Amino acid sequence: MQFISSSLVSDVELIKVPPKLIALGDSGVFGWGDSEGGGWVERLKRHWMPRPQAPVIYNLGVRGDGLERLAVRLPQEFSVRGELRRQQPQGLLIGIGLNDSARVGRVDGRYQLEPEGFFYGLGRLLGQAKDLAPLFVLGLTPVNEAAMPIAGCLWYSNGDLAKYNRLLEEACLNLQVPFLSLWPEAIATGDWQRQLCADGIHCNSEGHRWIFERVSAWPELLTWANLPPEGSCLLEAGRAVSGVQEISNEFGTFLQT
């Protein structure tokens, strides 16, 4: 069994562990389509990585995921990302809804998940997630309807996506969860299709960069991360930085064998 000397304990007491942010969702969170930067989550991770006290980001996006599949895997994904013994992540960021809005078989076919079921399930998911850690939710972005159908059987439309985006926003408002709306600005650009892959639904590198720029400047997220608006390090000598954990006791237990 190994023990830590009193002098080492004194040094360990100064060690701070950055909080963990878990990004959960579909292929947009995964980063599909961004061959340059790996997706907006990867870009955010690289942007924060040089900052010692900035959050550590885990990208847990899964291609094709919808609300129901995400709800199933949330508890396990969260429980094993604490890094240290008896620790859990300190934040959750969710991006979901695109695949739920798709219509199956024809342009006016059934939804993958009906709006009523989506809203009900979303309320339950967000409530569950909010009980685990501070929660942040990302809104949806438009598609290129001319590229439909996807895989010969799935139709995505901007009318449906706008509806599901409103449901996301309403559910977040009901539960007082920070929501980053991308839809109005994306529509206002007038040339959003330029930021999409040829399949018409996934953002390309330019689209992921556009999302990253807005997520990295998200006031609520930066406040949680204890980073100033410009995203630089917050260094205050002699004071523990909010949102960063002391691990002296945990570190001592961790080294015992």
With helix as H, strand as E and coil as C, how does 69-132 read?
HHHHHHHHHHHCCCCCCCCCCCEEEEECCCHHHCEECCCCCEECCCHHHHHHHHHHHHHHHHHH
C-beta separation of 138 from 95 below 8 A:
yes
Residue 172 lies in a domain: yes
pLDDT band per the 50, 70, 90 thresholds, residue 230: low
Residue 237 lies in a domain: no
Residue 64 lies in a domain: yes
pLDDT band per the 50, 70, 90 thresholds, residue 102: very high
What domain range includes position 104?
A: 17-227
Residue 5 lies in a domain: no
Q: How many domains does the chain have?
A: 1
Residue 247 lies in a domain: no
Least confident of 7-21, 40-54, 159-173, 206-220: 7-21
Distance separating alpha carbons of residues 118 and 66, to the nearest angstrom? 10
| CATH code, 126 | 3.40.50.1110
Residue 144 lies in a domain: yes
Residue 246 lies in a domain: no
The angle that helices 115-132 and 67-79 make with each other, rounded to 10 degrees, is: 10
Residue 189 lies in a domain: yes
pLDDT in tens, 177-222: 999 999 999 999 888 999 999 999 999 999 999 999 999 999 999 9
Please indicate, yes or no, whether the overall pTM of this predicted structure exceeds 0.75.
yes
Is 50 exceeded by the pLDDT of residue 255?
no
